[in-house]
Amino acid sequence: MEQYIGLDVSLKDTAISIRQGGSRIWRGKCASDPALLADIIRTQAPQVKRVVFETGPLSTWFYHALSAEGVPAICIEARHAQKILNETLNKTDANDADGLAQLAEAGFYKAVRVKSFDAMLARTLIGVRKQVAGMSIQLSNQIRGVMKTFGLIVPKGKGRVFEGHVREMLAGNDGLARIILPLLEAWRDLRKHTINLDRQLLAAARNSKATQLLMTIPGIGAITSLSFSAAIEDPDNFKRSRSVGAWLGLTTRRYQSGEIDYDGHISRRGDSHLRSLLYEAAMVMLTRTSSRYDSSLKDWGVKLRERLGIKRAAVAVARKLAVIMHSMLKTGEPFNKLAGVPT
């Protein structure tokens, strides 16, 4: 008979539960190492059909490593699983593994598409660049705030201009300089790292045909296009381009019960960083692009802005951008500014 396995994965240990014929036949625990888990599965469940575990920090590694070992690994949506697992009286790792094994046996789960290591590498590059750039901005703001306390108002400026103003104003103030200069040196280091990461990001964008294709859209730069292509991976992962907007949380939520029926705010599910990038691109298209970049999409967004306001119009344009970008990846055709706006 076929066996079904649930894995409750943590950083140190993984709880294992094996079911067969509607009952548990074995459970245990081992170190969170896919190679060790694969050996245990081959020994205890030679006819395993499904091995289920939840999304988490180790899920990408576990999925690819177990799949390479020939294990039928399935990563499922943690929020969906928790609604079932929370029904147990005692919350333990072993009980969670039992619950996941029952979900595997019943087939009552929502499988998650696990991204490849190449896609995760691109997403990591974008995330680290954002983090380092944010830390640099925070340090510069802290320097301005500390100096303002002593009546030293740093003029507007970035990069070397900012550093020159700070050093000039600290001249003759040795006490404050001993405090500010270490912050300034840290700020310079972060700036260097940001520039290096920017070069890596631009190189990755130049080497990707999909990214170059998406950058033909006005307002879409290297970061947004690389983030989108890494998130989508294969356009065939979505049957319809319209599904991408809902996948990114850019469609309105609906509540209907009896006589009550209304649409709320957007769901904000999915990749929050990519959603914010598309929103920013939509704002750029509606407010900053010149007339030579006019398109049917921009005209449609401008009309919405006059009727609904800039924020709602930007959300709508961001949703249409997601649909258009997926369609471009599927067809391989560049952006057509005269094409009609998809519904």
Residues 307-327 have pLDDT tens digits of 999 999 999 999 999 999 999
Cβ contacts of 171 within 8 Å, gap of 6 or more: none
**pTM given for the model:** 0.83
* Token pair in block for residue 128: 């680290």
Residues 224-238, mean pLDDT to the nearest whole number: 93
Answer whether residue 343 shows pLDDT above 60: no
- Contact of 87 with 114, CB cutoff 8 Å: no
Do residues 258 and 161 both lie within one domain? Answer: no
Q: Would residue 112 count as lying in a domain?
A: no
- Bridge partner residues of 19 (DSSP): 4, 24
pLDDT band at 252 (very low <50, low <70, confident <90, very high): confident
Give the pLDDT score at 254: 73
Do residues 282 and 245 both lie within one domain? Answer: yes
Q: Would residue 143 count as lying in a domain?
A: yes
Give the pLDDT score at 342: 60
Do residues 326 and 217 both lie within one domain? Answer: yes
Answer whether residue 57 shows pLDDT above 60: yes
Query: For residue range 266-284, what is the model confidence (pLDDT) as tens digits?
Result: 888 888 999 999 999 999 9
Q: Tell me, what DSSP letter sits at residue 268?
A: -
Do residues 219 and 203 both lie within one domain? Answer: no
Give the pLDDT score at 238: 92
- 304 Cα distance to chain centroid: 28
Q: What is d(CA 170, CA 172) in angstroms, rounded to the nearest whole number? A: 6
Q: How many domains does the structure of the chain reveal?
A: 3
Residues 231-251, mean pLDDT to the nearest whole number: 92
CATH of residue 10? 3.30.420.40
Q: Show the domain range for 251.
A: 211-331
pLDDT band at 61 (very low <50, low <70, confident <90, very high): very high
Question: In the listed set 207, 233, 251, which residue is the last one of a domain according to the structure?
Answer: 207
Give the pLDDT score at 76: 95
Give the pLDDT score at 1: 84
Q: In this structure, which amino acid lies at residue 34?
A: P
Q: What angle do CA 55, 58, 61 make, to 5 degrees?
A: 110
Q: What is d(CA 123, CA 173) in angstroms, rounded to the nearest whole number? A: 44
- Contact of 289 with 246, CB cutoff 8 Å: no
Mean pLDDT of the chain: 92
Query: For residue range 166-188, what is the model confidence (pLDDT) as tens digits?
Result: 999 999 899 999 999 999 999 99
* Token pair in block for residue 299: 């005209």
Do residues 256 and 170 both lie within one domain? Answer: no
pLDDT band at 340 (very low <50, low <70, confident <90, very high): low
Do residues 223 and 268 both lie within one domain? Answer: yes
* Token pair in block for residue 190: 């972060």
Give the pLDDT score at 275: 94
pLDDT band at 21 (very low <50, low <70, confident <90, very high): very high
Better-predicted residue by pLDDT, 257 or 299: 299
Any idea which residue has 């888990």 for tokens?
A: 37
**Which sign does the torsion angle of CA 57, 61, 64, 67 carry?**
negative
Question: In the listed set 106, 125, 156, which residue is the last one of a domain according to the structure?
Answer: 106
Do residues 186 and 278 both lie within one domain? Answer: no
Query: For residue range 72-126, what is the model confidence (pLDDT) as tens digits?
Result: 999 998 888 888 888 888 889 999 999 999 999 999 888 999 999 999 999 999 9
Question: In the listed set 207, 242, 259, which residue is the last one of a domain according to the structure?
Answer: 207
* Token pair in block for residue 2: 């076929």
Give the pLDDT score at 294: 85
Do residues 150 and 231 both lie within one domain? Answer: no
Give the pLDDT score at 84: 82
Answer whether residue 263 shows pLDDT above 80: no
